[in-house]
Amino acid sequence: MEILASIPSPGESEIHLGPLPLRGYALCIIIGVFLAIWLGGRRWVARGGKPGTVADIAVWAVPFGLVGARLYHVITDYQLYFGEGRDWVDSFRIWDGGIGIWGAIAGGAVGTWIACRRRGIALPPMADALAPGIAFAQAIGRWGNWFNQELYGRATDVPWAVEIDNGLDQGTFHPTFLYESLWCVGVGVLVIWADRRFRLGHGRAFALYVAGYTAGRFWIEYLRIDEAHEFFGLRLNNWTAVIVFAAAVLYLVLSAKRSPGREENVEPDPDAEPAGDETPAEVETSAEAEETAGETAAEADAEAPEKPAEAKAEGGADAGTKPGDEDAKAPAS
């Protein structure tokens, strides 16, 4: 069947910004990261957080995410870097492509948790603020596969097929990068809508993003033909998608029952002193006040028994005079 249309692949994977060469793969990741930080920052402020907090969190989250993404890829595709005819140094060449979204999420979550802990912020509300931005960042980052002509699907002649000129016999394939990019845009829009409609909190917006993404990743992964480990007829990433999807849905259900609604205070005031924390001067002043109060109470207890005795004596003197005696002794008028 004659192919009437297709998506051409770029002639080279580098973009030259003047004298500076920049790989298209890296450019897509950079744009996605900045978009996620910008949108996450706006959503964090809208939830009651402070401007600039998300950018500070990203200083930890982004490096951890990149390391986790590359580590996951190297572990699950170790045959590409280790063994006969392979150079293990290539495992560090992240600019040549090869990252795993599961490792990126796990590593980014660790970095975000560390940064949030340092600032006294709970992780779930921060994850909710970042969720749609992460989905949009993935949508942009997937175009890096187009620049590298990698991770495409089965051969096809549909009008939107992508042309691959790396020596394969068949010239056009399913553009799985495009499918996943469009799917991630839809997931991001869904999270924003659901968050506004149902006021998702306590990590539920992030769980919805994870569930939505994994649902799409399952069928997109089924189309891919790149080398991958298989278990019981399914690729490793298919099994990962199923397990993570189930965990995300379970969290959505349990969290809605345990913690309905949304957090009221997402970021503590750094100028306010936490309740129960006192400076040494305050502790000393408090101790002196308690000691003074104790001495006053002791003096009051020591004087208390004398008053009933005096009252009894006065009462006895009055008792010696009968009512009417004073009237009897008074002169007749």
Annotated binding site: 142
As a whole number of Å, the CA-based R_g of the chain is 36
Query: At 183, which helix (H) or strand (E)?
Result: helix 176-198
Six-digit token pair at 228?
């991958």
Contact at 8 Å (CB) between 146 and 95?
Answer: no
Say how many Å lie between the first and final Cα of the chain, rounded.
Answer: 143
For residue 298, the Cα-to-chain-centroid distance in whole angstroms is: 56
Give the separation between CA 23 and CA 143, rounded to whole angstroms. 12
Six-digit token pair at 57?
């969190």
> Which residue's structure tokens are 């208390």?
304
Q: What angle do CA 88, 91, 94 make, to 5 degrees?
A: 155
Task: Count CB neighbours of 88 within 10 A.
Answer: 11
Task: Count CB neighbours of 113 within 10 A.
Answer: 19
What 3-state DSSP class applies to 55? helix
Give the separation between CA 307 and CA 84, rounded to whole angstroms. 102
Instruction: Choose among 5, 107, 128: nearest CA to 63.
Output: 107
